[in-house]
Structure 1
Amino acid sequence: MKSNLRLRKLCAIALAAAMSAGSLVSCNSGGGTSSSSGSSPESSASASEPASASSDDSSGGSDAPFVYATDAFSQKFNPFIYTTVYDGEVSSICVETVGDYTRNGSVIMEGLGDGTTEEYNGTEYNYQTLSNITVDQAEDSTTYTIELRQGVLFADGEEMNVDDLIFSMYALLDPSYTGTNTFASNDFTGLDAYLSGEAANVEGIQRVDDYTVTLTTDGYSVTTIYDIIGVPIAPLHYYGDESLYDYENNSFGFTFGDLSGVEGNLEPMGTGPYVFDRYENRVVYLDANANYWKGEPKIQQMQFKETDESDKAAAISTGTADFTSPSGSIATLTEIASYNPNGETTGEVATTFSYDNNGYGYVGMNAATMNVGGDPGSDASKNLRKGFATLFAVYRDICCDSYYGDAAKVIQYPISDASWGAPKETDDGYALAYSVDVDGNPIYTSDMTDEQRFDAALQAAIGFFQAAGYTWDDATGTFTAAPEGAQMAYEVIIPANGGEDHPAYLLCEYVRSALETIGITLTINNPSDSNQMWTTIDARTHNMYTAAFSFGGSPDPDCYDRYYSGEIDSGNNNNAISDPTLDELLLNGRISADQSYRRAIYKEALDIVRDWAVEVPYYQRQNIYVYSTERVNVNTITPDITTFWDWQHDLEKLEMN
């Protein structure tokens, strides 16, 4: 399988660098293509009827622009190659993808005709997208049939058809592709032969008619559908070269091995609700797409304005912005509440929405540099890491509450709670992370105070270090020597740019102080440039580090890239876990469509990860959206925002006051 080695790392890098700024990369997710309406009488017409969806007052729209206070752009607004969430938001508002998710995180397989109706939070929502997708799973292959919506126009008035999609797919599969989309990681039939030059096309991509294409893969992978719905439908005539497109003669809109023209077009254009005008003085200017298939947006102009994190919430109060997505910290929520007369985060000045971020914060440990006798998988090596993990785990609650307050919660498994695969407290075998001692006995009792818990954790850590082979001196109550291959001093890297504003800063200080009392040194490395941490990780010389991982837009718990042993040398699997049982579970989890079976598979896999003690799961934070109650008609914001249903949905219905 061809793995896009950069995807997961880019997601993690972007999220770690912005973990206190509330941003994440939405890598390879479907999005921006759905329309939804509840079953209430007030619901708008569905997107299958764009004429009626565009109400009488939408033709003129609001004269006031909608201003979004966002972060700095890399100015790569191309749907194929953007790497930051901020560039991606600009791209996705202009260029839609094949499919999308429901609020629950289900893939919308039927987006045409009557669409798909699914209940969320007591309301029936209808979803319309640009396609229907059917899956035919045979013994040795799987065929995906994509039928596109007919009559959809690009913003420039040209009609969308299947050749635009085929062009986009071949661009993502080209060997010169430099972006992070993982479409090419799938085992499409004939892809190897095409990439090696042995075949003139990808056998698994077959044009059926002007609006239908089939994709065939060897075998079955549960992640393929997510990659398919994440393919941008980019207009061939705009991003490619029409003179170079001849499907019957194996020419797909560009010269094989040369995507310079495709990737060089940085002004996005597609079927989305808005049209890119310009980037000027740190502001992206967007105009309503009069040809939008769901109806022309009521707000005629949008501006995405680069704004410092510290100024985002204030921009809502001062009127310089109508919408923002700041960091969900205690300080930010307190600031927002101060602007409302009622002292709440939603009131007369600001309206706030929150939802689970599709990722999690953690402390990583490198098994390759934190082991005994050069054997990362031995019991002694695991006990060494469990000594550290036990201490990190016990201080999580106090540190998370101190930094995030109600905007985050401590988690027990290395997976986002937004995923359907996340273990629940009611599941058999559910346990708090690193809450038992070296003999398997519970470390804590329910009536312990915080100080008693800290003391109990330290005693448990001592037991783990002794089991790892460290020499303990009863007279001084400290360790005096490390076993072969281990050390008396280790380093943890915090990407806080030399400051203290980071959710793991206090956590590391607590653990450093505790270890100091027993003779073990934890050095906190807080480089002024957080990229230094990733340079060290890339070199595989790190011990411990604090970061956050993003699942992008996918609800799937697949964690092959992060924990499969074959990924250690590929730029993934930063913690060097190598366990044959885990490898088998990760492979089995990818080839079954049975969600119940897969959920059990991943629970077992995550238990192995915890046993190796290469990750201490830390927090699941909330993302927040803040609208100006004074200037935005908050009743027209897409209802029931979730991890998989963000603010860009139903934008054609959004109104200013």
Structure 2
Amino acid sequence: MKNKVFHTRLIILLAVIATTIFVTGCNCKSCKKDDDKTYYNNEVDPLVFSTQELDKVFNPFFSTTGPDSNVVGMTQIGMLGNDKNGNITYGDSEGVVTKDLQIVTEGTEDKDQTTTYYFVLKNNIKFSNGSALTIKDVLFNLYVYLDPAYTGSSTIYSTDIVGLKEYRTQEADETEQDSFKLKFQVEAEARIQALVDATVEILEEHGDSKPDKDQFREYLIAYAAEFESISDNFKNVVKDYDKAIALFKEELETDYNNSIDTYEDITFSDKNGKVYKNLLTTDVEVFLYNEGYLEWNKEEAKLVSSLVNDPTTLKKWTKEQAINTIYADKIPNALEEVVLYWNTSIKLNDYLVNEAMEAYFQNDTNKEFPNISGIQFANRTSSVTVNNVTYPVPVYNADGSVKEGNEVLSIKIKDVDPKAIWNFAFSVAPMYYYSDAEHIAKFDYVSNFGVEYASQTFMNEVVNSPAKIGVPVGAGPYAASKSSGGLDNITAGDFYNLGIVYYERNPYYILGPAKIKKLRLQVVSSSQMLNSLYNGEIDFIEPNAKPETIDELDSKKEDGFGNKSIQTSGYGYIGINAGKVPDLAIRQVIMHSINTQECVNYYKTTATAIHRSMSMSSWAYPKGATPYYPYIGGAVPEDLSVVNPAYASYVRSLGKKAGDKLTSAEQETFIRNQVEGAGYTLNANGVYYKGNHILKYTFTIAGDETDHPAWQALFHASEILNNVGFQINVSPDSQALTKLASGDLTVWAAAWGSTIDPDMYQVYHKDSNATSVLNWGYKQILLNTGGKYDTEVALINRLSDLIDAGRKTNNQDERAAIYSQALDIVMQLAIELPTYQRNDLFAYNTNKIDVNSLTPNADLSPYKGLTSDLHLVSLVEEK
């Protein structure tokens, strides 16, 4: 399925994963007539779609993965829609909130220019509980997305709305606005440094006695009492220590969970290249291996451990024993390392920044800027004219719904911004559900909009509470239900149960109730997808668009199975987290070792090689782009001015010409030169290391199978790298979706579902709060501990400036030139290697689905799919 509006750039992992669940029989709900044709009942029989593995964050404000956002999208209605060409749509015939739209640009460019967007709201939209959607709900959504404490993936805050910076910072001075969050960052870093200083001094004095975490805490209390009178930085060290070790314990728990059921995929090779399999047989061993307490010695071809003399005894260890052993080994003796370099450092920093910000605003109860001046209920007190139609002040019913007239929302931005209109296409979720009674009662259009200002507590405990994560509510064509049916009192366990998501039509949907009453999404593995379609378990699937799959489906047409291929709006890529692979040279070596043509070959004739991080369906994709990281085993490209300079310099030094190939020895020399030039040396186990960092990584394949476009490319890259001192394992992972959303993967294969506008802010800008920047390791880069990311920080600053520039003009040629430069910088960062552009393949049961109710062929495009008008889809019913 395709959402009507691409609000965010979604992470879509390439393999669908999980357990096959059978849907119960029809109990005579469908019936056969004398002509032996089976008919179905739209009121009784469910329509079942396949879905990828779900992360179960079904909240419109905080969902991040593609599958989760699809689950949520069924229940939501957007401010705007889009047509097959990617143009904005609105009006009475569209399933959107906006009845009419006018965009007015005034003033002088580069001086006092502003653009105002007038949205005339429909007055007859209802949420699935029957309550009216009004401008209060629209304003509530905007104030959630624009609150300084909001941490979801939407980047509406990147739009330069008049008064927004003043509101988010409570500062009038532009210099203060620009450095607003910096003061909280400085405070957080000072607190972490105070904890480090205290730790170093205490361990110097008491290290010989080997204090445990509790004894260390006692020393810390005494230390704080002695020094807090000298500096405020030390008054929080005990509290920060408690938070740090709690976060570290959580990190170890997460690391252990990430190790579960992966031991069969871990292999080793000795100095002669002989491969050893199945040496690890427990989750505990994998966990200890990943944490560096169990290692492979290439020279002696055996496992060694710093914990025990005989590593085989670790097979009997329990989860608790393993976690507690590492915890005790690191705390407090390696506390400095933990709070500066482990993932704990990022979470501790974020926690302290948010705590400082929340405390700052709580102490300043009288806000100088109580609202965003550029966002107005335009006809609240007087009439307003939009497209030559005058809209008077609305008249309301007792329940707050509009009785007469239409409410008009206006949003004024500075200058122009081609992405702004797409940012304003957000889904409108109900305030009654996502806020609470206390804040709703205070709603006054002036300083209260159903949101507690700058409160992380409000965001976590009200907007994103556990119940609201599990059950989405909105005004879309469908509403959350349960296996037995009904829309009342739905719990998270009802809505998603045993791999199936349950919906029923929203009886109040603005375009009329959906034709099919019951709809389901069912998690199914890629290997079972076609069989699930053929046996009637699933009605509509999205398999990989391999030629052999298309041929197989074509041969099934007479059996009642149709298929369509549509150019995708996204692309495949291989990502590298710079937080986990901190050296630029190492990331570059990994990219040179990957033959992306192998990803293209997986799809044979149905995919094309792509060389920049943007969909080729976009008008802004650089024409004639070539690989920045040529495959180390491939032909030397003709133009060495557009490739990684280190590679270009090396092949020139060898006298290579276009079309020549590097020998195996030359490939190895290049890799070793890069690695050793970055300061790495071989350890006793034959693996490169620098300080505490070892070149031991997992390359993750999404799903539980190796039938994946990137498997061969990553596996062959691992062979190249392992031969020269890396320790790489390539592993399928059924939990990859969850890990990717939290930034827990090191190297992985995935695909983007791109936005209609080519704006790059959400995924690559330094100020983006979207989860995609977690994937790249932006937080570690921008913290820049010890200055190790100086090069990357400079690149990201330049990249962010270009992204900003791309939003200051509506001229497509100018924007395309800007994005071409920006995409080159993305390549220089070595965080994302584009691999292929392919088609989306849809297959469906034509015996059950009325194909005439699907989107007509003439309207299909990367932006409009077969079921974009889901409320019109029907089953095959007897006429």
Q: Could you tell me the TM-score, scaled by structure 1's length?
A: 0.71
* Pairing 1:99–2:49 present: no
Amino acid at match of 1:200: P
Write the mapping of 1:207-222 to structure 2, written as runs, cut at 5 A.
207-209=377-379, 210=394, 211-222=407-418
- The aligned residue for residue 449 of structure 1 is none
Superposed CA deviations along residues 150-179 of structure 1, whole A, max 9, x for unmatched, are: 333333333332222112222323345453
- How far 1:343 sits from its partner (Å)? 1.8
- The aligned residue for residue 481 of structure 2 is 277
Amino acid at match of 2:514: P
The 8 Å contact of residues 155 and 762 in structure 2, kept in 1 or not, is answered as no
Amino acid at match of 1:470: N
The 8 Å contact of residues 141 and 428 in structure 2, kept in 1 or not, is answered as yes
Amino acid at match of 1:416: S
Structure 1 CA distance for aligned equivalents of residues 664 and 101 of structure 2: 53
- How far 1:528 sits from its partner (Å)? 6.6
Structure 1 CA distance for aligned equivalents of residues 47 and 815 of structure 2: 43
* Pairing 1:233–2:452 present: no
- The aligned residue for residue 628 of structure 1 is 845
* Pairing 1:548–2:750 present: yes
Amino acid at match of 1:500: T
Amino acid at match of 1:88: S
Greater helix share, structure number: 2
- The aligned residue for residue 400 of structure 1 is 600
The 8 Å contact of residues 458 and 514 in structure 1, kept in 2 or not, is answered as no
- How far 1:567 sits from its partner (Å)? 7.4
Task: Quote the RMSD (CA, aligned, Å).
Answer: 4.4
The 8 Å contact of residues 355 and 623 in structure 1, kept in 2 or not, is answered as yes
- How far 1:462 sits from its partner (Å)? 4.2
1:485 to 667, 679, 693: 679
Write the mapping of 1:64-213 to structure 2, written as runs, cut at 5 A.
64-108=45-89, 111-112=90-91, 129-131=96-98, 132-138=100-106, 139-195=112-168, 196=361, 197-209=367-379, 210=394, 211-213=407-409
- The aligned residue for residue 862 of structure 2 is 643
- How far 1:515 sits from its partner (Å)? 6.5
Q: Which moved more, 1:238-247 or 1:288-297?
A: 238-247
- Describe the shift of the 1:521–1:357 C-alpha distance in structure 2 as closer, same or farther (beyond 3 A): farther
- The aligned residue for residue 251 of structure 1 is 448
1:604 is paired with a residue whose SS is: helix
- Describe the shift of the 1:233–1:461 C-alpha distance in structure 2 as closer, same or farther (beyond 3 A): farther
Structure 2 CA distance for aligned equivalents of residues 547 and 406 of structure 1: 20
Amino acid at match of 2:476: G
Gaps of 5+ in 2: 1-5, 19-40, 107-111, 169-360, 362-366, 380-393, 395-406, 483-494, 631-635, 648-655, 683-687, 689-694, 782-791
Structure 2 CA distance for aligned equivalents of residues 74 and 388 of structure 1: 29
1:150 is paired with a residue whose SS is: coil
Structure 2 CA distance for aligned equivalents of residues 76 and 512 of structure 1: 33
Q: Highest CA radius of gyration, 1 or 2?
A: 2
* Pairing 1:593–2:810 present: yes
- Describe the shift of the 1:523–1:133 C-alpha distance in structure 2 as closer, same or farther (beyond 3 A): farther
Q: Could you tell me the TM-score, scaled by structure 2's length?
A: 0.54
Amino acid at match of 1:485: G
Amino acid at match of 1:415: M
- The aligned residue for residue 299 of structure 1 is 516
- How far 1:145 sits from its partner (Å)? 1.9
The 8 Å contact of residues 81 and 95 in structure 2, kept in 1 or not, is answered as no
Amino acid at match of 2:431: L
The 8 Å contact of residues 22 and 327 in structure 1, kept in 2 or not, is answered as no
- How far 1:512 sits from its partner (Å)? 4.8
* Pairing 1:411–2:614 present: no
- The aligned residue for residue 223 of structure 1 is 419
1:456 is paired with a residue whose SS is: coil
- How far 1:299 sits from its partner (Å)? 1.5
- The aligned residue for residue 534 of structure 2 is 317
- Describe the shift of the 1:396–1:90 C-alpha distance in structure 2 as closer, same or farther (beyond 3 A): closer
- Percent sequence identity over aligned pairs: 25
- The aligned residue for residue 436 of structure 1 is 637
Write the mapping of 1:5-84 to structure 2, written as runs, cut at 5 A.
14-15=11-12, 18-21=13-16, 61-84=42-65
Superposed CA deviations along residues 531-550 of structure 1, whole A, max 9, x for unmatched, are: 799989999996xx343352
Gaps of 5+ in 1: 1-6, 24-59, 116-126, 444-451, 472-480
Write the mapping of 1:333-482 to structure 2, written as runs, cut at 5 A.
334=549, 337-338=551-552, 343=555, 346-364=557-575, 389-390=591-592, 392=594, 395-401=595-601, 403-425=602-624, 430-431=625-626, 433=628, 434=630, 436=637, 440=641, 456-458=660-662, 462=666, 470=673, 482=676
- Describe the shift of the 1:156–1:314 C-alpha distance in structure 2 as closer, same or farther (beyond 3 A): same
Q: Which moved more, 1:589-598 or 1:212-221?
A: 212-221
- Describe the shift of the 1:90–1:387 C-alpha distance in structure 2 as closer, same or farther (beyond 3 A): closer
Structure 2 CA distance for aligned equivalents of residues 152 and 495 of structure 1: 44
- How far 1:398 sits from its partner (Å)? 3.8
- The aligned residue for residue 286 of structure 1 is 503
The 8 Å contact of residues 493 and 533 in structure 1, kept in 2 or not, is answered as no
The 8 Å contact of residues 609 and 615 in structure 1, kept in 2 or not, is answered as yes
- How many residues are matched? 551
Structure 2 CA distance for aligned equivalents of residues 574 and 563 of structure 1: 11
Structure 2 CA distance for aligned equivalents of residues 461 and 593 of structure 1: 51
- How far 1:495 sits from its partner (Å)? 0.8
Structure 2 CA distance for aligned equivalents of residues 641 and 598 of structure 1: 27
- The aligned residue for residue 45 of structure 1 is none
- The aligned residue for residue 121 of structure 1 is none
1:495 is paired with a residue whose SS is: strand
The 8 Å contact of residues 70 and 86 in structure 1, kept in 2 or not, is answered as yes
Q: Which moved more, 1:188-197 or 1:165-174?
A: 188-197
- Describe the shift of the 1:654–1:454 C-alpha distance in structure 2 as closer, same or farther (beyond 3 A): farther
